[in-house]
A and B are shown apart, each in its own frame.
Chain A
Amino acid sequence: MSTVLSVEGVDVWLGGRHVLDEVGFEIAPGELTGLIGSNGAGKTTLFRVILGLLPAARGHVEVVGRPAGRPARAQVGYVPQKVALDPDVPLRVRDLVSLGLDGNRYGFRRRSRQRDEAVDAMLSAVGATRLADARVGTLSGGELQRVLIAHALVAQPPLLLLDEPLANLDLANGQEVVTLLAKLTKEQGVAVLLSAHDMNPLLPVMDRIVYVAEGRVASGTPAEVVRGEVLSGLYGHPVSVLELGGRVVVVAGDTGPTDLVTR
């Protein structure tokens, strides 16, 4: 198995708090991995380390064999947690996606057929062709999320990071984005790491899970990780995994061994 992202023994302290403690896991191409953890667990912090924006006190991050930071940047597509667009910003959807190709480059740009085709192909891949000429400030939350995914993927990076892409979407839109990401993972062979505080919408499509709690992570297939004894070790106190009305919930306390049965 080749590795797109490898995180090894990463330690991060922020404001005197040990936010990430010996975090390690690997991600392979064509896999969709959920980074699951509650608010403040350290998901965004981990993304910042992978992007090379935050130095780890200890440990090592490699993206396609290159250390995190400048050399690895071109290899990562990133959809941040917070995006605030001015409704009047004079930018069409196709302009925003095109910035994903070369928005980081200083210098003159020649118009090219190739670029336009890449943008059109990407818009069609995320199902946003009809939005191509819309102003980005007028998009709904779900539409904007698709467009941001297109922006992040248009340069065909081997790794895509999405920080809480489902956070502001209703159930139906969230479901659509999840389906889209699963499709892109397989079609484009990209490795996807997306964070969420609720694992349930992702369970049907998640190849692997990286579960964050108390600064530590457990990783593996959902069936391996989402188990009472594994998560109890992570939290440092007994927790149980329950299935309630088709949803998996993690609760404090020992209610006996109920392991997740993946569908």
Chain B
Amino acid sequence: MGAGTGRGVMFSGVMATAWVTATLVAVVAGVVGFHVVVRGATFAAHAVPMSAFAGAAGAAVLGVSAIAGLGVVSPLAALGVAWLGRRRRTDVASALVIVVMLGLGALFLSWTAEYSSQVYALLFGELLGVSTQELAATAGLAVLAVAAAAVLHRPLLLTAVLPDVADGRGVSVLAADLWFLLLVAVVTTMAVPVVGTLLMFSLMVGPPAAARAVARSPRATIAASVAIALVTVWSAIALSYVTDWPVGFFVGILGAAWYLAGRAAAALAARRRPGARRQPAALAA
């Protein structure tokens, strides 16, 4: 795709599919990313897509579609992280899962003919290679993910903010963690073929982290997070079209930029608040 070949091409054919797909991925990443950030689960949310790498690589070896491989391995990775991290050590569990699955993925890919192009596609996605069939699957998973996020919303919030109270009220923190990871697995399955494991992660963390600096309530934060994610992918596609650089590069850069902008805004807000505390508000006897 040459630089600046005109509007007609930028919004039609393969490009039209790319726009729609990217929009779906951004909405879902913005919604689910809210819970990633509120739970402080960025590492766990990294482990699932990274493991999915192995699933997609395995699918390549078997000659089945990447979505099928992702659909099987992502939930398994989610269960693995939840089970290994059931005593609230999800960081160690996540690290373990990432290392093992990355190794497996590399092994699987070495068995396929087109090693390097496959690796590249899984890490950074192939937005411009999305077929109509894949678009339908992506749309279905997007609806599922957003509906699940809505259904799980309140228990996910309660268990993230007041875990001891949640347990007392019969909302198991463990169950909520598991639901959350399965939700991440759904997002992974839909997003990895499109934006890749690395960029899906940056899309799921950058926008919501920036959003919570500008919005107050959960509702407003989710809305802002979706909006920022949309701006990110749209600009990334447009920039990629103009420069001929990979979409993934721009998604990554913009994700990081949003994150830093969010941190800066939060720091400024804190400085403006007289007597604001830098430490978490903690009550411990």
Mark A residues whose CB is within 8 Å of B.
51, 53, 70, 73-74, 76, 78-92, 95-96, 99, 102-109, 133, 135-141, 144-145, 148, 151-152, 164, 167-168, 197
CA distance A80 to B221 in the complex (A): 27
Q: A53-B167, A104-B169 are in contact. Are A99 and B157 (CB under 8 A)?
A: yes
From B158, B170, B281, residue with most partner A Cβ within 10 Å: B281
Tell me the nearest residue of chain B to A84, going by C-beta.
B282
Complex Cα distance, B167 from A81, in Å, reads 14
A82 touches B281 (CB 8 A): no
Count contacts between A and B, CB distance < 8 Å: 141
In the complex, whether B113 has a CB less than 8 A from a CB of chain A is no
Across-interface contacts of A87 in B (CB, < 8 A): 270, 277-281
Which bracket fits the contact residues of B?
35 or more
Please name 12 further chain A to chain B contacts, defined as beta carbons within 8 Å, in addition to the given A82-B164, A99-B162, A102-B154, sorted by A numbering.
A73-B168, A78-B169, A87-B270, A90-B218, A91-B38, A104-B154, A105-B155, A106-B154, A141-B281, A151-B165, A167-B284, A197-B285
User: B residues 155-196 with Cβ under 8 Å of A?
Assistant: 155, 157-158, 160-162, 164-171
A176 to chain B, nearest CB (A): 15
Task: Name the residue on B nearest A169 (C-beta).
Answer: B283
Contacts of A139 in B (CB 8 A): 281
Let me know if B266 and A88 touch, CB within 8 A.
yes
A to B CB contacts below 8 Å, 10 in the list: A78-B165, A87-B278, A87-B279, A90-B218, A90-B220, A91-B38, A96-B162, A139-B281, A148-B162, A168-B285
Chain A residue nearest to B266 in the complex (CB): A88
The B interface is mostly helix, strand or loop, or mixed, namely: helix
Min C-beta distance of B189 to chain A, whole Å: 22
Taking CB as reference atom, which chain A residue is nearest B213?
A88
B160, B161, B167, B218 — most chain A CB neighbours (10 Å) = B161
**For the complex, what is the distance from the CA of A238 to the CA of B171, rounded to whole Å?**
45
Which of the listed residues A88, A136, A141 has the most CB atoms from chain B within 10 Å of its own CB?
A88
**In the complex the two chains form, what is the Cα distance from A222 to B245 in whole Å?**
77
When the two chains form their complex, are residues A106 and B217 in contact, meaning their CB atoms are under 8 A apart? no
Tell me which of A51, A53, A79, A85 contacts B282 (CB under 8 A): A85
- Give B222 Cβ to nearest chain A Cβ, in Å: 9
